[in-house]
Every structure is written in structure tokens, then in C-alpha cells.
Chain A
Amino acid sequence: DTGVSQDPRHKITKRGQNVTFRCDPISEHNRLYWYRQTLGQGPEFLTYFQNEAQLEKSRLLSDRFSAERPKGSFSTLEIQRTEQGDSAMYLCASSWVQDSEAFFGQGTRLTVV
């Protein structure tokens, strides 16, 4: 296992388009997180799953954002009708629920033009 992987690493899209990101966690981890990070800021929590169940969504997450984790394995984060304010680094992390240490992927950098 090579750790948490995210795809794509970079995405440039036009305002109003939909984008989807994928995260493959460490295989034995049952918890998966999505964060957003903008320049000079710490990661902001967006949502997290335990197995396939989405346990919490941040108030930051508008209804244009949706995340899924079918079968409790990989996860997707979709942003509909992208806006320039969505430009950020989107980070995925995974962990064991019994151990709150999280392992992060390299992130997907989204630029909305």
C-alpha cells in the first residue's frame, strides 16, 4: 500500500462546470476525511465517512458539494456549478477509527477560471 492517493493532482475548470475528485484511502482504514486548504490557512474540515456512512458535513459545504463513499472504499467529492471561490487544494485523509492519527494524500489543486 502506497498511502492515500488522490486524482487528479491538478484541475483547471471554467466557472459553472462540474468537477469530481477521487480519493483512494489506505486499504485497512475505515475513516475517510475531506478537507479544503487555501493559501496561508490550515485545512478546513468538509466532511467525513466511517465506512460508507457520511457522519458529518461542515456548514462550509454548500449544496453544490456532494461526497460519496460507496462500499466504504474509495470516495468522490463533486462540486457542481463551480465558482472562483472554490479554487483551493482539496485534501483527503484516512485513519482507523480506533486511532485518530490521519494520513493525508497529496491533494487535488482546483483552479476555477
Chain B
Amino acid sequence: KAGVTQTPRYLIKTRGQQVTLSCSPISGHRSVSWYQQTPGQGLQFLFEYFSETQRNKGNFPGRFSGRQFSNSRSEMNVSTLELGDSALYLCASSFTVSGSYNEQFFGPGTRLTVL
């Protein structure tokens, strides 16, 4: 089974621009979560989608948004980029949303650099 894939792997943008990152979950997984990883803040939860609905949201400004498509693929968008948005953005998929079994599988991430 193919793992979680994320595209692109690397991105360089300038302040004020917007960016869209894509994530394809493991086949059969319907939940997709996004995390931001930085040296200073570590791994922080952004949001989670299940069946095209946002189920959870972390403490990030409204510039960060996402969506999920009917095939479970997900995109996240960051508008009006700031220098502090430079980070590794990780996508994770899982088979269930809640319950006793919610192991998440992570993709390789998209490295975003904002200049």
C-alpha cells in the first residue's frame, strides 16, 4: 500500500504571497490531519478533515485554511505569507476519526520557505 504523499516537497515563496499544499492519504483512509513543524514550536496541529468536513482546528490564524475532496485528498492554503510561516508542513492520514483506533500515518512533508 502506498504511503501518504505530499506535493510539492519544497517551496520557496515571498512574503505576501499565498501557497497551496496537497496531500494524498493512504488508500481507504478518510481522515486527513495537518501539522506544522518548526524548530521553535515543535509539532503543532493545524486542522483535521473527515468526509470533506473540518472536524478539528488548532490555534492558527484564519490565513491557514484547508479542504478535503470526495476522494479524501486534502489541500491546505496559507494566504498572505509571513516569514514565520516557514516550516515543514506534515500531513497525516488515518482510518477512523474517533474511537479506540486512530493511528496516524505521516507523509514526508512540504518544506516551505518564506523569503
Our verdict on whether A and B bind, yes or no, reads no
